[in-house]
Each structure stands twice: as C-alpha cells, then as structure tokens.
Structure 1
Amino acid sequence: MAEEQYDLVILGGGTAGYVAGIRASQLGKKVAIVENQLLGGTCLHKGCIPTKTLLKSAEVLHTVKTASLYGIDTEQFSINYNQIMDRKNEIIQQMYTGIEHLMKHNHIDIYNGTGRILGSSIFSPRPGTISVEYEDGTSELLPNDYVLIATGSKPAELPFLKFNHQTIISSTDLLKMEQLPESIVIVGGGVIGMEFASLLNDFGTDVTVIEAGERILPSENKNIANNLKKHFTDRGIKIYENVQLSEGSFTFKDEVVEINEADLKITADKILLAIGRTPNTSDIGLNNTKIVTDAKGFIEVNENQQTAEQHIYAAGDCIGKLQLAHAGSKEGTTAVEAMFEDNTMPVDYNTIPRCIYTYPEIASIGMTLEEAKDADFTKARSFKVPFKAVGKAVIEDATQQDGFCELVVDQDTDTVLGLSMIGPHVTELINEVALLQFMNGSTLELGLTTHAHPSISEVLMEAGLKAAKRSVHA
C-alpha cells in the first residue's frame, strides 16, 4: 500500500486527466495519475495532434497544387511521406516531454499500470481505493479521498464489421501507416471521417465516404455541411449519404474490399471505420460502485462532474458529452474545483467551440438556427456574412470564395445563441466568439469592437453589425 493517502487519484493521463491533476496540485493537493499507456492520451498520441500535423502537411500540399492562383508557378513537387510521418512523431515526442515536465513540476506521482476501482473492504469503508496492476503481475493500492475517472475512449466498431487492422482499420491504425493506400472507403461522415477524407484526398488517395444518415456532419449547420460536401465533391471525393450497410455488403478477397449495396459498387484497398468512439469503462471496477452508465457505457455525471458515488467524479470522453480535448480539460478542472472548492462553475457546453480541421476549415459554437427553434427561441434569426466580403479572406485563400459566417441571435434579448463558419483559419477565429459568449457579450458589442484591417476576423465584426442592422460590407 502507498505510504501516504492521496487527496486525488486520477484514472487516465489524457488531456482531461493530466489537466485536472495540475489544477488539483495548484490547490495544494497530493495527486496521483494512473495511466496504462502514455501521458497525453488519445489527443496527443492517436488523435488531435498527429491528425492535425498530417492535415497541416496536406494544407501545404494543397497550397502548392494551387500556387498558380497566387501567381506562383510550380512545375515539379513530390510528397515525402516518410518525412511527413517523422515530423508528426517529432511533434508528439516534443509535447510528450513537455507533459512529463509538467507532472514533475507539479509534483504529481505517475503510476504506469492498469488502475481499477476496488469496493469497500476492511481497509476502506467505501469504494474508491485504486488497485494498480503492473505487467509483471505485481500490484499496488492507492488509498484516496477522491477519484476522477478520465479513462477516455477508443474507436467504435460495427457489430458486423470488426477491426482486423489491415483492411478494416481505425483512425489509430491509419495514423501509424507507413504507406498511404491507393484507395479507401471511409464509413462515417462525422468529424473524424471528414478530416481523414480531406487529408487523404490531398495526399492522392482515392476517397469514398459512406454515411448512414441523411447528410454528413449531422450535428453541424446544414448549410455548412452542404458547402463542405460541394468542396469535397469538386476535389474528387465521392460521398454517399443515406446508405445502410450490412454484413452482406462486404466481400474480402485478394487484399481488397468490395462493397455492394443496392446501386453502390466500390472496390478499395482499405476501409476506415469512423463511426464514433466507445468509452473505456468496461474493466475499471465500476461494478464495485454505485456509478451509473448509459446503454453505451458512458458514465453519468451531474453538473459538477460527480457520479452516483459522491467522492468519485468523471470527465472527458468517458462521459460522452462533447468528445473534444478542450471540453475534457474543462470538465476535469470543473470536477477538481467541485471536490476542493466551494464555488464552482458548471460546464456550459454552449460556450465550448467545436472545430473541424478539414480543407476548408469549419468552426462553430452554441446552437444552429434549427436547434434554437427547437429550443423554443421563437424569435431566433440567422445573419450570414460571406468571406468574399472581407478583403483579407479573399487575399488569404483563393479557393474558398464561397465560405461564410452565420450568426444565430435571439432577437428578443440580442443574445448570441450560436455561430458557425466555414472558411480560412476559422478554427482560430472561433476563440473570439468563445470569449464573447463567456463574457455574455451582445451582437452590437461584437460589431462595435474595432478589428484590424485587413484581417479575416473582420467577418465577425460584420456579422455583429449585420445583426444590429448596421452592416457596412455585408
């Protein structure tokens, strides 16, 4: 048993876990993190960072291909995919080293093993003591006052289509591939599927997307989803919506996959399953607690991230809210402050930005107009500003002249209910809107804030002015 009881033991060293650990350390608490792989979790090693690194290389390649639009003639260029992967690995290692330094700086103890929650026993009158099991068969107990579950998630499979990590692959498999496939079918038109479709297309892979629902990006603004579909189709990406696949849809032979479903007939080297993620909650000892999970295994929490066991909290992908690294960080911080401080601020998911790093980029926050109407905002109205009305946007990207910013406003109160954008660098612009929402700013305040000219962010100023019936260029 550990020599000293911990104030907090965190299961999982991903973004939600290690950020929560740092916050607890800042509050003077003794913290341990149990991680069975590498600190940084999915975001650093299998998700955000490697994917966005590849997407940056794809963006540069796209610029090279379209350089003539800027008056630059490029007759010859080539893709060095080995160097692209080396750069990705170097960035991951650099950031991993940084996290290790943060753990030491904040005096957080790291246990590299598999953590499970034990039930009540003669050592503890309540469940929550963490057993850490190591590869050599030994184990260790970590008594504590509080537990934060931040065990993350993994790529989901279909009941009739399981990963074999060769022809049927996950996003994790794809990020480790040393050679790009000549052709690929992406099953799932959500964020993960769209990002991989974008980068693979730029790298020269023949890409087909199959979506079971009525449209790609079902949780985003419909106009933006249609805009992205047009861009992708123009680039040669084939998108099929409303296609229900079954076990009989697939034939595997000679290291290729054939898909036959109604009038759809496709042959490809690989199938990427991008249908979402499933929580890592099945073998962490939840059966020893009162913790409640939903039908998919996601842990149910209250507004302070607290589970049905009052001293056990949960954050990140394992609770199934916005499965975004920055959302997990916010949830983890909220949980720690709920444990150790009197005044806490519950997570407001309407103020958390959502970004899609395709080409073109997409960013949004809050509600779409349809969602606002469904939420009984009867006076909700949207105001759209095209990027072509903003000089710097036209200068910056000659291939995205149909991008736009759409602001959703409750006209009764001049409250910003949501905003969506598709266009150049919108994943950076959205943070200004996040601050506006956090400060409860109005459309007029957004419009009257002086923005540098020329800058792409002027599109936000124009949107605020348009909602206030004072637009200049839109």
Structure 2
Amino acid sequence: MSDTSFDVIIIGSGPGGYVTAIRAAQLGFKTAIVEKTHLGGICLNWGCIPTKALLRSAEIYHYLQHADAYGLKADNVRFDPAAVVKRSRGVSKRLADGVGFLMKKNKVSVIWGAATLDAPGKITVAASKTEAPKGTLGPGSYQAKHIIVATGARPRVLPGLEPDGKLVWTYFEAMVPEKMPKSLLVVGSGAIGIEFASFYRTMGADVTVVEVLPQILPVEDAEIAAFARKQLEKQGLKIFTGAKVTKLDKKADSVTATIDDGKGGTQTLTVDRVISAVGVVGNVENLGLEKVGVKIERGIVVTDGLGKTNVPGVYAIGDVAGPPMLAHKAEHEGVICVEAIKGLHPHPLDKSKIPGCTYCSPQVASVGLTEAAAKEKKIDVRVGKFPFAGNGKAIALGEDQGMIKVIFDKKTGQLLGAHMVGAEVTELIQGYVVAMNLETTEEELMHTVFPHPTLSEMMKEAVLDAYGRVLNM
C-alpha cells in the first residue's frame, strides 16, 4: 500500500476514534486517523478530563474550608483562578500528548486536516486551521476499504440562548474563565450543567440552575435525583425545575434572564455569566455523509449495533451514532466495530449496561433501569437501599450523606439497575456493571465478601435490603 492507502481510516481522534485506531492496529490493519484540531478530541481537551481537574481543585478547596471538621487548621484559605485553570489545561495537555505517543507506538498514521467522504472508500482531507503536529500527514486524497466516522459532538444551541463566548458560555468558555464570576445562571441540569454548577458554587459563586423538566439530572432515578438536589441546595445552589429561560438581555458585563417558572409566573435574574448546558448534538455536517447516501435520522447516523451504516464500508461510532453520548460508550463501540470488520463476531453493544457518572458534589452514578422504567415495563421488582450514614468508612471520611439503590426482578433475581449518590460513587458503579454483564443474581452478590471498612460494603447491604436481610440498618 502507498502512504495514501489504508485498510481502516478513522475520522476523529476522540476517545472513540483513537481507541478504535489502536484496536485496528492490534488486529493487523494498516490504520490512519484524521484530526483537524487536537488529538484526544473534546473529551481529553475540553470535556471529561479538564472538568474533572477543575472539580478536583474545588473538592480540595472545600476540604480546606472545612478543615476544622477533621481536627485540622487551615487559615486564610483562598484560590488563584488562573492557577486552577492552568492545572486543568496541563492535565489535558499531558493526556493529549499521550494520545500522540500511543499513535506512534501502534504505528497509526495521523492525517492532519478536515475530512470529507467523496465515495465509499475515498476521502479528501483539507488543510486545518490548526497547526499540524510534527510527523503527521497532510491534506490530500486517501483511500481505505473501511472508513469509520467518529467525529463526536458539540454543544446544542437553543434560539435566544446563543453563546457569545463572553457573557453566555458553553462548556468551552466555562472551563477557562479569566476571572471567577460572582453570580452564574446554568441553563440545563444534565451532567454538564450540574458539574459546572457544583464547581462554581464551591468556588464561591452564587449559582442558579434552571431545568425545563420536572427533575434535575433527568436520566437518573427520581429518588437519587431528589437526594442530589437536596444536598446541592444545602450547599447554596438555587434550583428551578419545570421552568425555562425565555429571554436574555445582555448588558456590558452582565445578563438579565427572564425565567418562566412553569406555574404561570415569571421572574428576572441578573447574573455575571450564563452557561448554556442544554445538551449536545452530533457532528454529522460537512462530512459528505449525505453525498454517499449514509442514512441520518434526527441528527444521528443510523447504525446496526456493530457500527455499520447502510453504506458498505462506512461506519459510525460514538456521539454521531447516538446516545448515550459518553466517552466510554464510544470506546467500546469502536472496539466492537473494528472487531466485527476483522470477522471476530463481537456481541453488539448493549446500551442497557452502559454506566453514567456525574462528578458533582455529591457524585451520582447509575447503570440499567430506574425504578420507574422497570415498573413501566410491567416488571415486578424488589428494591433495596442503603444509606451512607450506616457505613463506617463513609462516617470516618466525613461523607455520611448518600445512598445506594438497587432494583431486582422479583421473579428471577436479575439485577436490573443500580443507582448511587454520594462520595466516590463513580468509582463504585463498575462493580454493579460487572455483575450485570455476568448476569449475576442476588444470590451471587449476597455470597460475595466485600472488604471492611470500605464504601463498597454498602453495595452488598443494598442487595441484602432488597431481600429483607440488611445487617447494618
């Protein structure tokens, strides 16, 4: 093959794209990946990773402010906004550089520029506005038997809430503030909105959240979302649900929002900045997908569960292939896609077993059916719960506010869903994810020995509670 001909070309180098490229190379494919802005995509550069770095700074700041609760003294505690942002950007750069190393290690060619499909098996790459890193291939025509679209997503824009980069932010601007706003309005209470609301509130801003649906964190179990809301409001967040922002009046350095409370009333709120966090949309435009006949429905590339589109040789993974729009879903989807291309017959992606995590304080994590969803399916369920207040490790950590909830099929003992709110639950949820993938029933979980003292003990206690056998409550 020439330098312009490959077995597999992936368009987009986010978590889905670069992981797919590595797996393709492992399987013996001559592989290239196309990127126009930054290796690692949104997740490593402007999403998952830098936000967690910001939230870690906020967490430590919170602990320092409450050092007395641990028998410690920390006087004159303050923060440097520029240094907080600098650390976050440094974390992102380290990981983005790591992606470049992984591409070299696995002999994946990097083509720098913006790709469009000319026909199945053929793409044209135009020059990027971003300077190409050393060692990358440039603009031109390239061929591959298999082309995988992994172009990710961008913030959704609603009429009247258009971001301007100064007064009305998306998550891009919210991650690199020149100064910390004293007041902030967050529109939308999904994971992105609540994480930023939590961060800025911890750093001292007066934060208001407006959500059009009846509960915050709309995809989460209602009981867990209600618990999280109560804790967030205790921290000083002001939350409006069943409400919407109908108008933004911009001043020189502030914004006045008109809020419809959903009950026939309206109110105005003046804040320094607004964050629009009303979801994301897949980047399906300007790729030539329509030109080659790829089927797109409601802004999403239609695939078969193994990444195949309706056009032979063209595939899609990650956010452009539909929800849940999560990095770990994109990674797994990409591995499945390229293994199917190789003929390894992987199992199609089971979206019911993809965990979701929100890194606010308290953290929220879940997998599988909510209690309401299980009942909508007419499933007779057993529900178990266990509070952090009953766990020794949580009390010792000073983190006794939280809950774990599990949902079982009463007839079969199948674990249908697990939902958590509290400290470090994003690190705990994988235990239930593994259990669900192994088709574990309550019996295996009850017979599993969990180490003491750990937060993980609550996972077993919640199971025991579902069957009337809870020990520490």
State whether structure 2 residue 423 is matched by structure 1 residue 431: no
Cross-structure match for 2:262: none
Match for residue 105 of structure 1?
Answer: 105
What is the TM-score of this pair, normalised by structure 1?
Answer: 0.94
Residue 122 of structure 2 is matched in structure 1 by 129
Say which SS state the counterpart of residue 304 (structure 1) adopts. coil
Alignment RMSD, CA only? 1.6
Residues 1:432 and 1:135: Cα distance change in structure 2 (over 3 Å): closer
Instruction: After TM superposition, give the deviation of residue 135 of structure 1 in Å.
Output: 4.1
In 2: Cα distance, 1:316 partner to 1:342 partner? 20
Moved more, 405-414 or 134-143: 134-143
Matched ranges for 1:32-431 at <5 A: 32-119=32-119, 127-135=120-128, 139-246=139-246, 249-261=247-259, 262-295=265-298, 297-377=299-379, 379-398=380-399, 401-431=400-430
| Inter-CA distance 135–63: structure 2 relative to 1 (3 Å threshold) | closer
Query: Once the two structures are superposed, what CA deviation does each residue of 1:122-170 show, in whole Å capped at 9, x if it has no partner?
Result: xxxxx23111111489841111110110000111111222111101110
SS in 1 for 2:460: helix
SS of 2:451's equivalent in the other structure is coil
CA distance in 2, matches of 1:460, 1:256: 46
Alpha-carbon distance, 1:220 to partner: 0.3
Deviation sequence 1:68-109 (CA, Å, 0-9, x none): 222223332111222222211221121112111110010000
The range that moved more, 336-345 or 451-460, is 336-345
Q: Which amino acid aligns with 2:334?
A: G
Gaps of 5+ in 1: 120-126
Q: Write out per-residue CA displacement over residues 324-347 of structure 1, whole angstroms, 9 at most, x where no aligned residue.
A: 111110111111111112421111
Between the two proteins, what is the percent identity of the paired residues? 33
Task: Look up the equivalent residue of 2:22 and give its one-letter code.
Answer: I
Alignment partners' CA distance in 2, 1:139 and 1:80: 42
Q: Deviations over 1:218-240 (max 9, x none)?
A: 11011111111111111111111
TM-superposed CA distance for 1:29, in Å, is 0.3
Q: Secondary structure at the match of 2:269?
A: strand
Secondary structure of 2:309's match?
Answer: coil
Give runs of aligned pairs for residues 437-452 of structure 1, distance below 5 A: 437-452=436-451
Range 25-34 or range 92-101, more displaced = 92-101
Q: CA-to-partner distance for each residue in 1:15-44, whole Å, 9 max, x for gaps?
A: 000000001111000001010011100100
How far apart are 1:5 and its partner, in Å? 2.3
For residues 158-205 of structure 1, give each alpha carbon's deviation from its aligned partner in whole angstroms, at most 9, with x where no partner exists: 122211110111001111223111111111111100000001001111
Q: Structure 2: how far apart are the matches of 1:101 and 1:220?
A: 37
Alignment partner, residue 134 of structure 2: none
Q: Distance in 2 between matches of 1:113 and 1:164?
A: 26
3-state SS, counterpart of residue 245 of structure 1: strand
Match of 1:122 in 2: none
Cα distance in structure 2, aligned partners of 1:294 and 1:160: 25
TM-score, reference length from structure 2: 0.94
Question: Cα offset for 1:307?
Answer: 0.8
Residues in 2 aligned to 1:375 and 1:331: alpha-carbon distance in whole angstroms:
26
Structure 2 residue identity aligned to 1:128: G
| Cα contact 1:252–1:258 (8 A) shared by 2 | yes
Q: What displacement does 1:303 show? A: 1.5
Runs of 4+ in 1 over 6 A off after TM superposition: none
- Matched-pair contact (CA < 8 Å) for 1:2–1:140: no
Counterpart amino acid of 1:358?
C
CA distance, structure 1, for counterparts of residue 266 and residue 34 of structure 2: 50
Contact 1:2–1:142 (Cα < 8 Å) also in 2: no
Structure 1 distance, partners of 2:66, 2:445, is 34
Measure the CA separation in 2 of the matches of 1:260 and 1:24: 51
Q: Deviations over 1:244-267 (max 9, x none)?
A: 333xx2212232111223332200
In structure 2, runs of 5+ residues without a counterpart are: 131-137, 260-264
Measured in 1, the distance between the counterparts of 2:318 and 2:372 equals 27
- Amino acid paired to 2:412: T
When residues 84 and 266 of structure 1 are mapped into structure 2, their CA distance, relative to the original with a 3 A threshold, is same
Report the residue type matching 1:59 in the other structure: E
Amino acid at match of 1:291: V
Is the alpha carbon distance of 1:170 and 1:410 closer, same or farther for their aligned partners in structure 2, counting shifts above 3 Å? same
The change in CA–CA distance for 1:135 and 1:421 in structure 2 (over 3 A counts) is closer
Distance change >3 Å, CA 4–CA 164, structure 1 → 2: closer
